[in-house]
Structure 1
């Protein structure tokens, strides 16, 4: 009976990963492990280990692959629907129909939901990387959506050279594109089980 009670208490009151005898006060915002008030940082919301160990930067190859997957998830469904509509109604401009852009809107909503929960889009989740703020804290969905994504796209439509300059910034030691500097973010390898990343720079 005592074993059952101890098991029940361990479920209802998770213990700190560093100090098993203490009850957890919160979960680390980076790795999700439970921490007590003694070792948790109230400012950053990080456990003792994450606070003192800098996360490993994502490789350039993983970032490129994740971007390609995110772009394909956004464009390909609408393109396929446009082609099917063009075949069904040859006399009508298929890509001008509002229904063609419904899959792209759905993809944006799904991406926003993923980013809000983990800081990682579909492509980044597949390669075990995520976006965080420059100080390591979680990046908000609006910071990622507006400053990292919408603003660069708007600038690229105004000046095509911006996209090339933006991408070339990743060759720096910090591996941060220009939009990362603007948004105050960086891309790091995700912690936890199942995180996968491409090897090499």
Structure 2
């Protein structure tokens, strides 16, 4: 009596061996059954392999997004910020002259608030038009740079003031720690891969050249 083997218990290698050795003309139904089991196990192996590849792909760290080719150089960021800083000091001289330097040794709350408002008004007077129109301060315009959102769109005056400038100003009101963050931590963060200072990260902005090609300079590094 011819008994058909239980092919469910066969491994794929066993099925391959059976398929190659069976007399297909004499046992066509059994050969077809073997082929069905081979197809089922091959499909199952392919599915398991695909799942394993997906798991490996998910476990691997995501590649870092490419940086824009026109990302501004650190040297130009520095010189642009220096120009803006000098201009800000110059427009503050009338306040020092009017109030007197001695008053700032132990400033009253009204003087602190008044100075902050004066500084904000001076910042807007200096850079307001350029920021609104081009996303630039005077220093950034000098090097062909502008402030952008991370999607490459120009940042507007309102966004720059509320999320980029005012948070840094607010930090200066925190004794010791605030000035440490603004004066040291904030600028040092530009040495990261994305060249974004703390105020860039808070506002979700970056500084790029207006054109696609970085500006050239002599003796300066990125």
Instruction: Say yes or no: TM over 0.5.
Output: yes
Change (3 A) 1:78 1:54: closer
Q: Which residue of 2 aligns with 1:160?
A: 179
Write the mapping of 1:72-111 to structure 2, written as runs, cut at 5 A.
Answer: 72-79=86-93, 82-83=96-97, 93-94=99-100, 105-106=121-122, 108-111=124-127
Cα distance per residue 1:115-171 (max 9 Å; x no partner): 000000101001111100011011121111121111112113312221211111111
Cα distance per residue 1:75-118 (max 9 Å; x no partner): 213316744x6xxxxxxx546798xx979835522311110000
* Partner Cα distance (2:169, 2:120) in 1: 15
Cα distance per residue 1:28-86 (max 9 Å; x no partner): xxxxxxxxxxxxxxxxxxxxxxxxx9441111111111111112112213316744x6x
Give 3-state SS (helix, strand or coil) of 2:147's partner.
strand
In our comparison, the structure showing a higher alpha carbon Rg is: 2
Write the mapping of 1:144-159 to structure 2, written as runs, cut at 5 A.
Answer: 144-158=160-174, 159=178
Tell me if 1:70 matches 2:84. yes
Instruction: Give the TM-score of the pair, scaled to structure 2.
Output: 0.53
Displacement over 3 Å in runs of 4+: 80-83, 93-98, 101-107, 195-199
Q: 1:122 aligns with which of 115, 127, 138?
A: 138
* Partner Cα distance (2:192, 2:119) in 1: 36
Tell me if 1:187 matches 2:207. yes
Number of residue-to-residue matches in the alignment: 138
* Partner Cα distance (2:122, 2:172) in 1: 23
Instruction: Give the TM-score of the pair, scaled to structure 1.
Output: 0.58
8 Å contact 1:112–1:141 — kept in the other structure?
yes
More helix by share: 2
Change (3 A) 1:58 1:109: same
Give 3-state SS (helix, strand or coil) of 1:186's partner.
strand
Tell me if 1:136 matches 2:156. no
Give 3-state SS (helix, strand or coil) of 1:157's partner.
coil
RMSD over aligned Cα, in angstroms?
3.1
Change (3 A) 1:82 1:161: closer
